[in-house]
């Protein structure tokens, strides 16, 4: 789990950091990393082209597209825990720049943690996974957060809750679905499949959309 | 049959039943609905499980009500709870029936959106619906707010015994960070037994049980899972192995034992065999003086510093902030004092012209969200104290009770009910005592009266009163004598506000520091002081070295290795100043460098505050704002400058509050249901710098609260933020309410999913696309007035 500085700068609105700003970024990364209490959980399902194990229908064409040809799929959830909330509040009491940077560092951390965990799970379960796809991406309804978290029992297993408005709480949390593209672990297959994560996604206005080189930079 | 559970518990080792959920799954597979609905739809299945546990020898049958609360079961809640309790009773008429209360399924503030009040109402309803049970089992809790809400709801809506059980992860904390220490200190006064269940297997829970048994005067309950589940959800610890652990739990001091996920009647049969006829294990409780927040326990077994800065008395800037509804200033003080090394923070909102009950409670909430230090609730108003104690997620100190009858009868019951420690002030109806003996007499009266309420000496902190040597010089020594003597006679702790000693004298810090050192040597445990002043913390550090409390001088060496022991006030918030470097204030602010020192230097040199504001700060902000708009500077640079300007303004305001007259009031809030507030916070900082008074209501704010604040502060502009499409409807709802209740107030909105069009559609006046847009709208609104 680490922070991609380029990604962090993109979250906070760009700019070339000078030495002082770089020091502040380092501080924020250290604070967020120390405050994070990352936890994750997953569940493996068979996939019949529409439902996961006969118990869950994502009701999304984009998910169906992602899982096309898969015979199995994983539901996955991860959170950095509530400690990061206090860290951001604390940073804000000192100044808004620190809060912005800490918050952005935490966003980078949860992404990186999800990458690490999905990699670990793929290895342990000896499978190759598609890219992760989350509620709210494309036509995959945000309101499915509740059902995904229920199926994973996230509240009991990792302390992840869903608010009345489908918001994940604590904030720096992710749930996702991923398909099994091969029944053995193969980083090469995976790289081919996930080369351009966000480019595949239909959620063009998603605030967290990454902009790979091949993708036009969005207007801020 | 009506057996007395409390009496049974005092004479027996009590056996609870095992898992319900996993038994149900065995019976019917994935239930596919709320398991508590089986109470009405398949009562036969529920009864059969209860009977199996009764036959196995369980003394207590937990009704199938774990998830039947209103948050999960909605309007069927009461019916399902009543049915569940009745089924357990009918299945095992000669056993105790527990009303089983699990979590609501919602995450409490500040990380989540459930308030203490909402949680309380949910549990209170469940407790009333389950009134036929013999005992109330609050279990599988991982959040302190939710746990306290459940326990208080049980206490206040029932006279049945209450058991509090939390669920811990491998790091000996719950998912929200509650430690075993904090749980024991906070829950023991509110429950008849405390303990742990679920999440882990017996091997992992043993150390938690050992800890709880030492920390709590209450009997300890343990209900482990049958080991940790594998990836298919199977539990591996069989009945025999489980029973072997049960023996260890009983040896570690557990008095109530049962099973959680994966356990079966067979597991219970074997532990019942062990426990039957066995006298309860003797208590292993070791009384210790301690207070805690939800996540940090502070044991008073040495000098512990209480930070005094969150108190408007004699502090112009704090006073102005509280009057203006600005809690961020107090939050900053909390962070500064925490970093300066305070162990406990005093929180006081006593100010004419404010609703102390409301403000103190909010202050406790806001301060708790930025520090994990335990709080001392400082008020002379018992109603305010109670309201703050309810909101406080831990074991607080109440400051204070005095020897006056009125105070004793109002404050001690609160300390007893909420399990708080209490400062005992040695004054009474006769006024401030002049002799050591009078101080001791009052202290002992307080100690005796507290004992009658069940408050132990370890929870009483006697304040022998600092008087002013400028007026009553001989009193300083009396104070010290009284500290020495009360510590000799009783196992109480002592507390003292130090700085009053020098009132009216020049160079007060010299006297304060000397008096502090003397008081520490007399036996003072809890000095109340400003931890930002280096000589205060230095005196404590030196005392700890000289009395061998700081073993090997390790902490001292670590802290002061690189120090030239300067005597300037340390303020956090910005890295140490690189000095002015030839930059003037305008350049410093524009570059986002620390500006407080330079501002102070200018003021000391006779500069007019208004000249600084108009001649340097505003131009600097304009420069950086223009650069930001033109795309030459980015958000981080803009905020660095904003923070720098804010520091400068804050120095000016501390010296002369009138110099910073506001251009208008703006109420800001992140709407109900939303906890993403970073954008709102940034907007607040920027608006403040442009001279507006910002009333920041925080996040997850109900529409009514926004409207009430707009009215109260006469705001002509209100800013709302929401992150997700799913919370924007609450934004629309808030705007509708504002239109009705506060037609003069304009509304600006911002948030990731909003656009100009979307903002119009929900009825907003302005859409803020970035951090400076708000400033333009504010100027527009307030210029028109």
pLDDT recorded at residue B613:
87
- Please give the Cα distance from A135 to A150 (Å, whole number): 14
pLDDT recorded at residue B1:
47
Sign of CA dihedral B369, B178, B155, B188: negative
pLDDT recorded at residue A138:
86
3-class SS string, B707-758: HHHHHHHCCCEEEEECCCCCCHHHHHHHHHHHHHHCCCCEEEEECCCCCHHH
- Please give the Cα distance from B114 to A88 (Å, whole number): 19
Helix (H, G, I), strand (E, B) or coil at B252: coil
Exposed e or buried b per residue across B2-29, where buried means at least 16 C-beta atoms within 10 angstroms of its C-beta: eeebeebbeebbbbbbbbbebbbeeeee
Is residue B545 predicted with pLDDT exceeding 60? yes
Q: Which of A23, A159, A207 sits opposite B176 (nearest CB)?
A: A159
Q: What is the average pLDDT across B419-448?
A: 96
Q: Would you say residue B405 lies in a domain? A: yes
| B647, two tokens | 């520091």
Helix (H, G, I), strand (E, B) or coil at A96: helix
The residues near A139 (Cβ < 8 Å, ≥ 6 apart) are: A60, A61, A62, A202
* Same structural domain, B249 and B312: no
- Alpha helices by DSSP H, B529-617: 534-546, 554-560, 585-591, 596-604, 609-612
CATH code of residue B70: 3.20.20.330
How do residues B34-77 score in pLDDT, each as one tens digit?
899 999 999 999 999 999 999 999 999 999 999 999 999 999 99
Q: What is the DSSP letter of B136?
A: E
Is residue B169 predicted with pLDDT exceeding 50? yes
Helix (H, G, I), strand (E, B) or coil at A41: strand
**Min Cα–Cα distance to chain B from A186, Å:** 22
The residues near B632 (Cβ < 8 Å, ≥ 6 apart) are: none
Q: Which residue has the tokens 């230097």?
A: B601
Q: Is A165 on the interface with B (CB under 8 A)?
A: yes
| A7, two tokens | 């990604």
Q: Is A161 on the interface with B (CB under 8 A)?
A: yes
The CATH topology of domain A5-200 is: NADH Oxidase (3.40.109)
> Interior CA angle at A111 toward A106 and A112, to 5°?
95
Contact A101 B636 (CB under 8 A): yes
Query: Residues 486 to 505 of B: which have CB under 8 A from any A CB?
Result: none
* Same structural domain, B612 and B756: no
The residues near B98 (Cβ < 8 Å, ≥ 6 apart) are: B16, B60, B61, B62, B63, B88, B133, B134, B135, B136, B137, B163
Q: What is the average pLDDT across B438-462?
A: 97
* Same structural domain, B399 and B311: yes
Helix (H, G, I), strand (E, B) or coil at A167: coil
CA dihedral B439, B440, B442, B446 (to 10 degrees): 130
Exposed e or buried b per residue across B294-330, where buried means at least 16 C-beta atoms within 10 angstroms of its C-beta: bbbbbebeebbbbbbbbbbeebebbbbbbeebbbbbb
List C-alpha distances in Å: B265 to A121, B19, B84, B91, B304.
35, 9, 19, 15, 50
Are B746 and B763 within 8 A, CB to CB? Answer: no
Q: Which of B334, B643, B727 sits opposite A165 (nearest CB)?
A: B727
Above pLDDT 90, what percent of chain B?
78
Question: What ranges do the domains of chain A cover?
Answer: 5-200
Pairing of strands B297-299, B290-292: antiparallel
| B625, two tokens | 């704002």
* Residue of A158, A160, A161 to mutate for B, most B C-beta atoms under 10 A: A161
| B74, two tokens | 């909605």
- Please give the Cα distance from B328 to A184 (Å, whole number): 53
**Min Cα–Cα distance to chain B from A184, Å:** 18
Number of compact structural domains in chain B: 4
Kindly tell me the burial class for residue B356, based on how many C-beta atoms sit within 10 Å of its own C-beta (0-12, 13-18, 19 or more): buried
Are B263 and B226 within 8 A, CB to CB? Answer: yes
B144 contact residues in A (CB cutoff 8 A)? none
Q: Which domain holds residue B766?
A: 662-783
B399: left (phi over 0), alpha (psi -120 to 50) or beta: beta
pLDDT recorded at residue B689:
87
Helix (H, G, I), strand (E, B) or coil at B291: strand
Band the pLDDT of A186: cuts 50, 70, 90.
confident
How do residues B352-408 score in pLDDT, each as one tens digit?
889 999 999 999 999 999 999 999 999 999 999 999 999 999 999 999 999 999 999
* Same structural domain, B91 and B240: yes
| A25, two tokens | 């970024």
| B318, two tokens | 């704090």
Question: Side by side, which strands form the sheet with B220-223?
Answer: B14-15, B254-257, B220-223, B193-197, B162-166, B135-141, B96-101, B60-62
Contact B675 A88 (CB under 8 A): no
End-to-end C-alpha distance for chain B, whole angstroms = 74
* Residue of A89, A98, A123, A134 to mutate for B, most B C-beta atoms under 10 A: A89
Domain boundary among B658, B690, B723: B658
Band the pLDDT of B561: cuts 50, 70, 90.
confident
Is residue B422 predicted with pLDDT exceeding 90? yes
pLDDT recorded at residue B457:
97
| A178, two tokens | 């991923």
* Same structural domain, B163 and B250: yes
The residues near B62 (Cβ < 8 Å, ≥ 6 apart) are: B16, B17, B20, B88, B98, B100, B137, B258
| B620, two tokens | 């600097």
- Strand runs (DSSP E) across B93-169, as ranges? 96-101, 135-141, 162-166
Exposed e or buried b per residue across B78-103, where buried means at least 16 C-beta atoms within 10 angstroms of its C-beta: bebbbbbbbbbbebbeebbbbbbbbb
* Same structural domain, B678 and B733: yes
Above pLDDT 70, what percent of chain B?
96
Question: Side by side, which strands form the sheet with B766-767?
Answer: B693-696, B665-670, B717-721, B746-750, B766-767
Is residue B151 predicted with pLDDT exceeding 80? yes
* Residue of A85, A96, A127 to mutate for B, most B C-beta atoms under 10 A: A96
Q: Which of A100, A161, A220 sits opposite B112 (nearest CB)?
A: A161
A89 contact residues in B (CB cutoff 8 A)? 110, 331, 369-370
- Please give the Cα distance from B184 to B284 (Å, whole number): 13
List C-alpha distances in Å: A151 to A36, A132, A146, A156.
25, 17, 9, 11
Are A72 and A47 within 8 A, CB to CB? Answer: yes
How do residues A106-148 score in pLDDT, each as one tens digit?
999 999 999 999 999 999 999 999 989 999 888 999 999 999 9
* Same structural domain, B64 and B149: yes
Q: Which residue has the tokens 């079966």?
A: B264
**Residue A38 φ then ψ, to 5°:** -70, 140
Domain boundary among B241, B275, B309: B275
- Please give the Cα distance from B590 to A174 (Å, whole number): 38
How do residues B750-770 score in pLDDT, each as one tens digit?
998 899 999 999 999 999 988
pLDDT recorded at residue B752:
84
Is residue A45 predicted with pLDDT exceeding 70? yes
**Min Cα–Cα distance to chain A from B10, Å:** 32
- Please give the Cα distance from B120 to B679 (Å, whole number): 31
Q: Which of B176, B643, B724 sits opposite A95 (nearest CB)?
A: B643
CATH code of residue B649: 1.10.1240.10
* Same structural domain, B171 and B218: yes
CA dihedral B6, B7, B10, B13 (to 10 degrees): -90
Band the pLDDT of B577: cuts 50, 70, 90.
very low
Domain boundary among B658, B684, B701: B658
Q: Which of B334, B637, B682 sits opposite A93 (nearest CB)?
A: B334
Please report the DSSP string for B313-350 in residue order: TT-HHHHHHHHTT--HHHHHHHHHHHHHT-SEEEEE--
* Same structural domain, B686 and B725: yes
- Please give the Cα distance from B710 to B131 (Å, whole number): 43
- Please give the Cα distance from B260 to B269 (Å, whole number): 14
Are B60 and B255 within 8 A, CB to CB? Answer: no
| B707, two tokens | 């409207």
The residues near B576 (Cβ < 8 Å, ≥ 6 apart) are: B594
Q: Would you say residue B573 lies in a domain? A: no
Sign of CA dihedral B235, B241, B246, B249: negative
- Please give the Cα distance from A11 to A210 (Å, whole number): 9
Q: Would you say residue B149 lies in a domain? A: yes
CATH code of residue B698: 3.40.50.280
Are B61 and B88 within 8 A, CB to CB? Answer: yes
How do residues B285-302 score in pLDDT, each as one tens digit?
999 999 999 999 999 999
How do residues B676-726 score in pLDDT, each as one tens digit?
888 899 899 899 888 899 999 999 999 999 999 999 999 999 999 998 888
Contact A13 B636 (CB under 8 A): yes
* Same structural domain, B51 and B172: yes
Are A202 and A140 within 8 A, CB to CB? Answer: no
A152, A153, A121: which is closest to A43 by C-alpha?
Answer: A152
* Same structural domain, B668 and B647: no
Exposed e or buried b per residue across A111-126, where buried means at least 16 C-beta atoms within 10 angstroms of its C-beta: bbbbbebbeebbeebe
Q: Which of B105, B177, B198 sits opposite A83 (nearest CB)?
A: B177
Query: Residues 747 to 766 of B: which have CB under 8 A from any A CB?
Result: 752-753
Kindly tell me the burial class for residue B159, based on how many C-beta atoms sit within 10 Å of its own C-beta (0-12, 13-18, 19 or more): exposed
The residues near B350 (Cβ < 8 Å, ≥ 6 apart) are: B311, B312, B313, B356, B378, B379, B380, B381
**Residue A41 φ then ψ, to 5°:** -155, 160
- Please give the Cα distance from B638 to B648 (Å, whole number): 15
Contact A15 B636 (CB under 8 A): yes
* Same structural domain, B526 and B596: no
How do residues B190-211 score in pLDDT, each as one tens digit?
999 999 999 888 888 999 999 9
């Amino acid at each position: 789990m680490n922070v991609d500085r380029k990604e962090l700068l993109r979250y906070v609105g760009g700019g070339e950091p000078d030495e002082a700003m770089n020091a502040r970024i380092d501080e924020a990364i250290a604070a967020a990393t120390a405050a994070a209490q990352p936890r994750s959980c997953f569940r493996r399902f068979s996939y019949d082209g529409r439902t996961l194990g006969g118990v869950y229908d994502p009701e999304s064409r984009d998910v169906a597209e992602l899982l096309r040809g898969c015979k199995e799929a994983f539901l996955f959830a991860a959170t950095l825990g509530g400690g990061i909330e206090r860290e951001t509040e604390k940073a804000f009491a000192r100044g808004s720049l620190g809060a912005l940077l800490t918050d952005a560092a935490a966003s980078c951390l949860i992404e990186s943690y999800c990458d690490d965990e999905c990699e670990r799970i793929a290895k342990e379960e000896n499978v190759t996974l598609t890219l992760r796809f989350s509620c709210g991406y494309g036509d995959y309804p945000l309101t499915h957060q509740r059902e995904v978290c229920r199926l994973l029992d996230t509240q009991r297993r990792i302390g992840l809750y869903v608010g009345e408005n489908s918001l994940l709480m604590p904030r720096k949390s992710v749930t996702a679905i991923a398909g099994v593209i091969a029944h053995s672990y193969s980083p090469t297959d995976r790289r081919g499949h996930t080369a351009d994560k966000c480019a595949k996604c239909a959620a063009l206005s998603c605030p967290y959309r990454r902009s790979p080189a091949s993708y036009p930079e969005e207007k801020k | 049959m009506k057996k007395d559970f409390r009496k049974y518990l005092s004479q027996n080792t009590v056996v609870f039943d095992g898992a319900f959920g996993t038994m149900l799954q065995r019976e019917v597979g994935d239930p596919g609905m709320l398991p508590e609905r089986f109470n009405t739809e398949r009562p036969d299945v529920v009864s059969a499980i209860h009977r199996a546990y009764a036959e196995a020898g369980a003394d207590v049958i937990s009704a199938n009500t774990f998830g039947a609360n209103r948050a999960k079961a909605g309007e069927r809640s009461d019916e399902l709870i009543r049915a569940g309790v009745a089924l357990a009773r009918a299945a095992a008429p000669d056993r105790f029936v527990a009303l089983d209360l699990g979590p609501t399924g919602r995450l409490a503030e500040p990380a989540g959106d459930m308030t203490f009040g909402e949680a309380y109402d949910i549990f209170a309803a469940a407790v009333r619906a389950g009134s036929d049970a013999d005992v109330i089992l609050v279990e599988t809790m991982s959040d302190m707010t939710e746990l306290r809400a459940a326990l208080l709801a049980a206490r206040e809506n029932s006279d049945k015994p209450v058991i509090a059980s939390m669920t811990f992860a491998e790091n000996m904390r719950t998912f929200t960070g509650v430690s075993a220490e904090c749980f024991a200190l906070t829950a023991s006064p509110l429950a008849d037994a405390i303990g742990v269940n679920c999440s882990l297997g017996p091997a992992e829970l043993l150390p938690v049980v050992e800890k709880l048994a030492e920390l709590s005067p209450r009997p300890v309950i343990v209900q482990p899972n049958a080991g940790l589940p594998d990836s298919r959800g199977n539990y591996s610890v069989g009945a025999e192995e489980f029973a072997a652990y049960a023996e260890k739990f009983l040896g570690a001091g557990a008095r109530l034992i049962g099973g959680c996920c994966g356990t079966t009647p067979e597991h219970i049969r074997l532990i019942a065999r062990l426990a039957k006829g066995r006298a309860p294990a003797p208590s292993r409780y070791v009384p210790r003086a301690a207070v805690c927040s939800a996540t940090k326990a502070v044991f008073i077994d040495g000098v512990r510093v209480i930070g005094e800065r969150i108190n408007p008395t004699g502090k112009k800037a704090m006073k102005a902030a509280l009057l203006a509804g600005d809690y961020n200033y107090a939050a900053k003080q909390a962070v500064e004092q925490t970093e300066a090394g305070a162990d406990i923070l005093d929180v006081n909102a006593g100010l004419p012209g404010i609703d102390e009950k409301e403000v103190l409670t909010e202050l406790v909430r806001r301060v708790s969200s930025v520090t994990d230090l335990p709080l001392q609730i400082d008020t002379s108003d018992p109603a305010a104290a109670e309201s703050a104690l309810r909101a406080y997620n831990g074991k607080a100190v109440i400051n204070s009770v005095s020897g006056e009858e009125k105070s004793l009868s109002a404050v001690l019951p609160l300390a007893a009910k909420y399990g708080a420690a209490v400062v005992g002030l040695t004054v009474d109806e006769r006024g401030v005592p002049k002799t050591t003996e009078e101080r001791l007499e009052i202290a002992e009266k307080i100690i005796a009266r507290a004992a009658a309420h069940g408050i132990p000496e370890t929870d009483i902190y006697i304040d022998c009163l600092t008087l002013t040597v400028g007026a009553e010089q001989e009193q300083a020594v009396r104070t010290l004598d009284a500290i020495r003597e009360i510590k000799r006679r009783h196992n109480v702790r002592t507390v003292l506000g130090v700085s009053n000693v020098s009132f009216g004298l020049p160079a007060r810090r010299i006297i304060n520091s000397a008096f502090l050192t003397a008081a520490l040597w007399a036996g003072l445990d809890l000095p109340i002081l400003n931890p930002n002043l280096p000589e205060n913390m230095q005196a404590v550090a030196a005392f700890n070295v000289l009395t061998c409390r700081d073993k090997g001088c390790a902490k001292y060496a670590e802290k002061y290795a690189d120090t030239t022991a300067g005597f300037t006030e340390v303020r956090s918030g910005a890295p140490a100043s690189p000095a002015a470097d030839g930059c003037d204030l305008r350049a410093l602010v524009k570059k986002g460098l620390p500006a407080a020192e330079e501002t102070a230097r200018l003021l000391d040199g006779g500069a007019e505050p208004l000249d600084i504001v108009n001649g340097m700060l505003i131009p600097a902000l304009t420069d950086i704002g223009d650069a930001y708009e033109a795309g030459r500077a980015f958000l981080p640079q803009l905020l660095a400058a904003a923070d720098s300007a804010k520091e400068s303004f804050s120095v000016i305001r501390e010296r002369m509050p009138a110099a910073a007259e506001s251009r208008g009031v703006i109420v800001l809030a992140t709407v109900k249901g939303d906890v993403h507030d970073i954008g709102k916070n940034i907007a607040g900082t920027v608006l403040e710098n442009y001279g507006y008074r910002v009333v920041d209501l925080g996040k997850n704010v109900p529409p009514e609260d926004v409207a009430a604040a707009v009215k109260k502060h006469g705001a002509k502009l209100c800013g709302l933020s929401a992150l997700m499409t799913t919370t924007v409807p609450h934004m629309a709802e808030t705007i509708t309410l504002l239109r009705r209740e506060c037609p003069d107030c304009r509304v600006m909105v911002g948030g990731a999913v909003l656009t100009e069009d979307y903002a119009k559609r929900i009825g907003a006046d302005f859409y803020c696309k970035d951090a400076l847009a708000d400033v333009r709208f504010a100027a527009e609104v307030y210029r028109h007035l």
